[in-house]
Amino acid sequence: MAWKRMALQGWGRVTRAETLASRPERQREVAPLLLAPEAAPGLIAYGGGRSYGDVALNSGGATLLTQRLNRLLDFVPDTGLLVCEAGVTFQDILRTFLPRGYAAPVSPGTAFVTIGGAIANDVHGKNHDRHGSFGDHLAWIELVLPDGRLVRASREEEAELFAATIGGLGLTGLILRAAFHLQKAPSTHFVVHERRLPDLQSFMAAFAEVRRQATYSVGWIDGVARGGQLGRGILQTAEYATGEVPRARPARERRMPVDLPALALNRHSVRLFNEAYFRRVPAAGRERILPVEQFLYPLDAVLDWNRLYGKRGFYQLQCVLPDAAAERGLPALMERVAEAGAASFLAVLKTLGERGRGYLSFPLPGFTLALDLPARPETPALMAQLEAMILDHGGRVYLAKDACLSPEGFRRMYPELPHLQAVLQRVDPAGRMRSDMARRLQIHGAA
Amino acid sequence: MTADLWVVLGASSSVARAFARAAAEGGADLVLAGRDQADLADTAADLRLRTGRRVECLDFDAAGFDSHDAFVETCWRLAEGHRLNLFFAAGSMPDQEAAMRDFRLARSIVEVNFLSVVSLLNRLEPGLRAQRGGAVVVLGSVAGDRGRRKNFLYGSAKAGLHAYLQGMRGRLLADGVRVVTVKPGFLDTAMTWGLPGLFLVASPQAAARAGLQAAGKGRDEIYYPGFWRLIMLIIKAIPERLFKRLSI
């Protein structure tokens, strides 16, 4: 049977969709599935299932699972150009190419993301200042358009379709194949520097200093510290190791055997955990040699860490504030979250460089903050307040993480939306590509 | 020791793809055989990139018996310098009621799931005996253990297949050629996607690994997952007087 009724969830487990799903195993099956009567109420692709909110969900519609379209098709060592199917994951790339001295140019915080998802959300990593987002490394894509036609898009051919598909939330069609450049990886390990920073102000000052020099940088912030300690945390910077590195034991994959009960994560337990996390790094800082995957994907060590937040799930808020606004905006946001007692575990702070190439690309030069907010009845109201604050500071919310943004806020954050809409008018006049996010944000226009 | 070459038949299926990957990761070269050449070429490229092994593609129509002589000849040519092994995963399970109405469909069930193996193995047998080794791993099915009202066309083809493999196992024993029957329960494949009433569904990757390991250990017949041996033991023990009344 081609279709199966099933329920899919966003990674944050607060969004859920009953959908009719199909899971093609060959490229030639994709176009007929898109044109099938089952897909008439609208279709979206679902890859690794690591988007937090509703970008890959389609309640009452159809969903195409891309996980079995996961073949590597071509690789040219001289140029680093890799061609692969959309369901290939960053883990596939790491395992196949890191031993040969190549790595994905940009990688999100989990290796379970697919290349199709990386394009549709124009993901970024811990090296955005230096290497931009995923779309910056994309040579071309082959896309099954909503009418079933197969087209190739790049900066030269179908340039508007290309820009609409990068960060296009899967709405321009189904990405079948993609070509992008891997970068040379001189080692399988990173040299990682870690240091403690006592508050947000010193954290941001430290970032201003390292963002131009370090290739990789990321800040882990204690989400519950307040007052003079607000924004304290650990700054990690990393470069590829040179020369021989000690052979480390391969890390074991662990699982969360159960959903944690709601009580387990309270402000006291989180405070204890965060204190320990902070003190893990000596006051004078330290240097470690870590396997690439342990630095890039620390949370992948626990396969389903999202169960940490229990059955009710959690929201993730990731926003970026432009450099000029961040100094005032970031403390205000963090204070608001701390005031609400939303007890976010660890928050992640990074810097971003240039804007992305897609119409809805998230990055802009500034500071990006990501925090988990366990779902409670009052959380959506808090998210609305945070949205207003982000707008006041000229920032925007990352759609790959989002489940709450309002259509009005979305329009102000993403002023290039009309360009995407124009492309959608052209390639999908019948509206065959749909998602819960597209409906919520009224991407195809007000209902 | 001679390097292994696995000929994978029906190589577009998810179990066959997983098997080919596991065999290549274990150091074997491959011949992928099937009808969808564009798809096989993609799988071959994937395996070459991931494992660095030699991978060739061949056109293979399971029910095109007249083409099997030439196919077998090509296999032996490609296997030069290797020990040839066979993984057979070609299969089809159309709707039983449709096959009851249309004999051509019923015949194709028997041809693809049973006769194709007879045609191929009979032709390969002299060569396999001559190389005095190698393994033949064939996907059977728990459906072949007992003829059920709901699925006996497919089941009877698989039952014939099981009996054929039992005989062939004995015939090749003295020459060191192992014949392994893998009887999977429910696998999460395109064939079972969306079918009602499935339980404890296993991944094609795990089933493929089990098949490869069984060949390495010289097992004769395995169930995958293993608990299906017990389930089928019980189902086979039900007296026919009772079984014929069961609508399973």
Give phi and psi for A75, each to the nearest 5: -145, 130
Dihedral Cα A313, A19, A383, A394, nearest 10 deg: 130
Q: How many domains, in total, are found in chain A? A: 1
Residue A81 forms contact with B (CB below 8 Å): no
Domain that holds residue B202: 3-243
Inside any domain, residue A99: no
Inside any domain, residue A198: yes
The answer to whether residue A244 scores a pLDDT higher than 60 is: yes
- Burial class of residue A250 in the structure, from the number of CB atoms within 10 Å of its CB (0-12 exposed, 13-18 middle, 19+ buried): exposed
pLDDT 10s digits, A87-140: 999 999 999 999 999 999 999 999 999 999 999 999 999 999 999 999 999 999
Supply the pTM of this predicted model.
0.94
Across chain B, mean pLDDT equals 95
Closest Cα in chain B to A72: B46
Dihedral Cα B110, B116, B121, B122, nearest 10 deg: 80
The answer to whether residue B47 scores a pLDDT higher than 80 is: yes
A268 CB-near residues (< 8 Å, 6+ apart): none
Closest Cα in chain B to A84: B46
Stronger pLDDT, A282 or B18, i.e. the higher one: B18
Inside any domain, residue B98: yes
Inside any domain, residue B198: yes
Inside any domain, residue B77: yes
Inside any domain, residue B37: yes
Asked if B46 and A71 come within 8 Å (Cβ–Cβ), the reply is yes
Stronger pLDDT, A71 or A277, i.e. the higher one: A71
State the distance between the two ends of chain A, measured CA to CA, in whole angstroms.
Answer: 33
The answer to whether residue B120 scores a pLDDT higher than 90 is: yes
CA within 13 Å, CB half, B175: 19
Inside any domain, residue B124: yes
pLDDT 10s digits, B156-187: 999 999 999 999 999 999 999 999 999 999 99
Inside any domain, residue A84: no
Residue A328 forms contact with B (CB below 8 Å): no
Inside any domain, residue A36: no
- What confidence score (pLDDT) does residue A248 get? 57
Inside any domain, residue A396: yes
Inside any domain, residue B117: yes
Q: A-B interface: how many C-beta pairs under 8 angstroms?
A: 46
CATH code (residue A331)? 3.40.462.10
- What confidence score (pLDDT) does residue A275 get? 80
Which of B117, B152, B150 lies closest to B136 in space, CA to CA?
A: B117
Inside any domain, residue A48: no
Q: How many domains, in total, are found in chain B? A: 1
Inside any domain, residue A151: no
Inside any domain, residue A234: yes
CATH code (residue B88)? 3.40.50.720
Domain that holds residue A215: 189-404
pLDDT 10s digits, B56-92: 999 999 999 999 999 999 999 999 999 999 999 988 8
* DSSP structural state of residue B113: I
In a mutagenesis test of the A interface, which of B15, B37, B46 is the best target, namely the one with the most A β-carbons within 10 Å? Answer: B46
Q: At what angle do helices A90-97 and B37-51 cross, to 10 degrees?
A: 50
In chain B, what residues touch A4 (CB-CB under 8 Å)?
A: 193-194
